[in-house]
Amino acid sequence: MLIAAAVCPHPPLLVPEVARGAAGDLDGLRAACDRAVAGLAEAGPDVLVVVGGGAADHTHGPGAGGDLRPYGVPLPVGPPPAVLPLSLTIGRWLAERGGLAPARLVEVAADARPETCLVRGAGLAALAPRVALLAMGDGSARRTTASPGRFDARAVAFDSSVAAALADADTAALAALDPRLAGDLMAGGRAAWQTLAGAADGAGFTGELLAHEAPYGVGYFAALWR
């Protein structure tokens, strides 16, 4: 049964060793992510599951690690070899920073169908009597002319709808996100958020939006569901 959930983004610059002199730019977001993970710890889960987007559907065990070497710093996260995608590497880093050890790190294909994500989430919620879930995902990367992707006028409204769903713990709104629109807007968190929606369906959570910002033209969210 899912007893708590958190949502965090996964920019490499969230890690101070990667950000270096720019680490201060994300101090507020990093603190919000720490608060979200602390909320999971306070819930006292039997099992922590980290969910994030990747190249394919795959479940990694607790011994799976990643590395931030591709982002300029040879910083292992977990044991070698580095097999985790960026989303789960940052998820593991945040969990361990908060004193939690993930039991499973679940990679969800970026193009996974919504119904597949929902079913997978429901299965994760049934893993143990007390399950906590950390869903890793960024919003649109097409918000401004300085964003990584070309500006799209729909991006800010899309991110605002995600923020509202996270604030209200609205599983129906997350489940209804259009995968084609999310893909067009380069919103990498869609599959992870819909997996969360499947895990939390009917659980009666209340949500708290801890951060909604876009310092580099990419939507970042931090939220805690209790």
Poorest-pLDDT segment among 21-25, 127-131, 182-186 = 21-25
Q: How far is CA 121 from CA 3, 109, 195, in A?
A: 13, 13, 4
pLDDT at 109: 97
pLDDT at 140: 98
CA quadruple 84, 120, 117, 216: dihedral sign: negative
Instruction: Please say if the pLDDT value at position 22 is more than 80.
Output: no
Q: Quick one: tokens of 87?
A: 């989303």
Instruction: Please say if the pLDDT value at position 161 is more than 90.
Output: yes
Q: What is the tens place of the pLDDT at every residue in 68-92?
A: 999 999 999 999 999 999 999 999 9
Angstrom distance (rounded) from CA 19 to CA 41: 26
Closest CA to 6 of 222, 176, 190, 197: 222
Q: What is the tens place of the pLDDT at every residue in 129-153?
A: 999 999 999 999 999 999 999 999 9
**What CATH number was assigned to the domain covering residues 2-57+108-225?**
3.40.830.10
Q: Are 198 and 117 in contact (CB under 8 A)?
A: yes
Q: Are 151 and 145 in contact (CB under 8 A)?
A: yes
Distance of CA 22 to the CA centre of its chain: 22
Q: What is the tens place of the pLDDT at every residue in 93-124?
A: 999 999 999 999 999 999 999 999 999 999 99
CA quadruple 88, 155, 215, 70: dihedral sign: positive
- Would the pTM count as exceeding 0.95? yes
pLDDT at 20: 87
* Strand residue runs (E) in the chain: 2-8, 47-54, 58-60, 66-67, 76-77, 104-109, 131-136, 207-213, 220-225
Query: pLDDT confidence of 128, banded at 50, 70, 90?
Result: very high
Query: pLDDT confidence of 27, banded at 50, 70, 90?
Result: very high
Angstrom distance (rounded) from CA 210 to CA 216: 18
Closest CA to 57 of 135, 111, 8, 134: 111
Q: Where are the domains of the chain?
A: 2-57+108-225
Quick one: CA torsion of 35, 37, 40, 44, rounded to 10 degrees?
Answer: -100
Angstrom distance (rounded) from CA 172 to CA 176: 6
pLDDT at 158: 98
